[in-house]
Amino acid sequence: MKKRILFSCLFVIVVISGIAQAPIDNSNIKFEEIGKIKPRKAINIKSSYLGIGCEVLDRDFACYDCYKEYLGNLGVKHARFQSGWAKTEKQKGIYDFSWLDAVIDDCRSRGIQPWINTVYGNELYEGGGDIQSSSKLPYSEEALEAWYKYIRNLVEHFKTRVFEWEIWNEIDHGGFKSSSADQYAEFYIKTASIIREIQPSGKITALALAGVGDTKFVREFLDYLKAKDKINLINRVSFHGYPQNPDTGFERSDALIRLLKKYDGNIVAFQGETGCPSSKGSSGALSNYPFTELSQAKWDLRRAMAHIGRGIQFSLFTLSEFNYPGNRLNTKGKLKIDNNMNVVHAKQSYFGYQNLTSVFDSSIVAGQSYDIRIDTDSTSVAYAFADSKKNLAAITYWNSGKIPSNRLTVTDASLKIKSSGFKSPVLVDIRTGMIYKLPKAAITSGKDNVEYRVPVYDSPILICDQKFLEKRGLM
């Protein structure tokens, strides 16, 4: 296949009232531009399988009031918060939820449903752990009793506003694992039982796995619950992951999903935390690779699409940059901040994810039965999505074989669909939001398939009917 190489130094300026923004690199696709994705606010989206992380507020590493307007405009329907035992209980037995009340109420007012990760310790109690991500589980008798009392008060306080609870965070992390699977299982059973007692219909999420490469910890945890006849305390299992190439590692998450089904076919596995920094030297995962705001945007979109293309719910880490103690900036945020945590600008990844959430609400789902073939000069992937009537609604595709680059290199691809295809096909560069008309010369219809000759690069492009966008008010 003949390559078409294009290097672009142009920019598309995104204008959204009241939102500070950085310029977006234009892919320079050589098709006729006919419009741009019109972003939707969360309050105008009924439901979605896409969410965002609003973590670290419990330790005052980020500022909710500084970014709340960006949250409502992002188009996500779920946001993850951390409960902050130490921030709530500063005197033994006295709970002040006012800081979390303000956050949860504002989030809900913007059309977003919060879910709470109950996590981290409290140094008020000997053996109570601390506020660091490496905190041990509470282990003394006094600390455990205080934790369970705190959980009871937390759930009672928010039971009409929060309906999903995640118990601890990355308990399996190799760098700071301090409990055995059995210890966590016993802790989980007692914590989950309190939640289920107060909120019988609430969802309870287990594990929040740092990785899914070794399922030994998971098996031991599940075996403990099964022996106690407590598997029914698990509604969902969350897992995390930060590979350099966002399209890798799915054989391991697939193995986790198969393992869970052996214990209970009703347990749902989902991606609860993953993301990419926008600079080299960021604190946390992926710190040593020279990511940029451009390659971050590509990474985030590929990571999200690869999950929802498999039918896996997804949460992106995290909305705002934040500082760990010692001023170690974590640049995985989609919003650039200054030293006072104020937003300087929304990064390219913010607008790319905003385009994604606007298009991919829960009215379309992974259509894994569709036969699609993509031929390019690189390793590529394609995912089909179907509407509620199981009709083909959209296809996304991109070059997936390498870590997202900081270059814009567009080549040719052949996309063959075993169906009648689209009546008025258009392309959408999800990263930029630009919409392009697909020329008739690029379409070949066969007896039982259609071939589209389209541009491709290392960021997702969408092909769909123009009416698909128009009916949703997206053009």
Final residue belonging to a domain, choices 314, 344, 363: 363
Q: In terms of domains, do 314 and 431 share one? A: no
> Contact, 8 vs 27, CB < 8 A?
yes
Residues of the domain holding 403: 372-471
Q: In terms of domains, do 464 and 334 share one? A: no
**What distance in Å separates the CA atoms of residue 139 and residue 131, rounded to the nearest whole number?**
15
With a cut of 90, say whether residue 218 has pLDDT above it. Answer: yes
**What distance in Å separates the CA atoms of residue 166 and residue 284, rounded to the nearest whole number?**
21
Mean pLDDT over all residues of the chain? 93
With a cut of 80, say whether residue 326 has pLDDT above it. Answer: no
**What distance in Å separates the CA atoms of residue 83 and residue 153, rounded to the nearest whole number?**
12
> Contact, 89 vs 131, CB < 8 A?
no
Q: In terms of domains, do 322 and 389 share one? A: no
Q: pLDDT-derived band of residue 211, with 50, 70 and 90 as boundaries?
A: confident
| CATH (domain of 55) | 3.20.20.80
Final residue belonging to a domain, choices 314, 345, 363: 363
Q: In terms of domains, do 168 and 294 share one? A: yes
With a cut of 50, say whether residue 11 has pLDDT above it. Answer: no
**What distance in Å separates the CA atoms of residue 452 and residue 401, rounded to the nearest whole number?**
21
**What distance in Å separates the CA atoms of residue 273 and residue 238, rounded to the nearest whole number?**
8
| pLDDT single digits (tens) 267-303 | 999 999 999 999 999 999 999 999 999 999 999 999 9
pLDDT for residue 18: 54
Q: Residue 242 has which token pair?
A: 């930060």
Report the b/e string of 51-80 with b at 16+ CB within 10 A: bbbbbbbbbebbbbebbbebbbbbbbbbbb
Final residue belonging to a domain, choices 363, 383, 407: 363
| pLDDT single digits (tens) 152-204 | 999 999 999 999 999 999 999 876 667 899 999 999 999 999 999 999 999 99
Residue 200 lies in a domain: yes
CA 189 to chain centre: 27
Q: Residue 450 has which token pair?
A: 């259609």
Tell me if the pTM is above 0.85.
yes
Q: pLDDT-derived band of residue 388, with 50, 70 and 90 as boundaries?
A: confident
Average pLDDT estimate for 34-41:
97
pLDDT for residue 27: 79
**What distance in Å separates the CA atoms of residue 69 and residue 415, rounded to the nearest whole number?**
39
| CATH (domain of 455) | 2.60.40
Domain count, the chain: 2
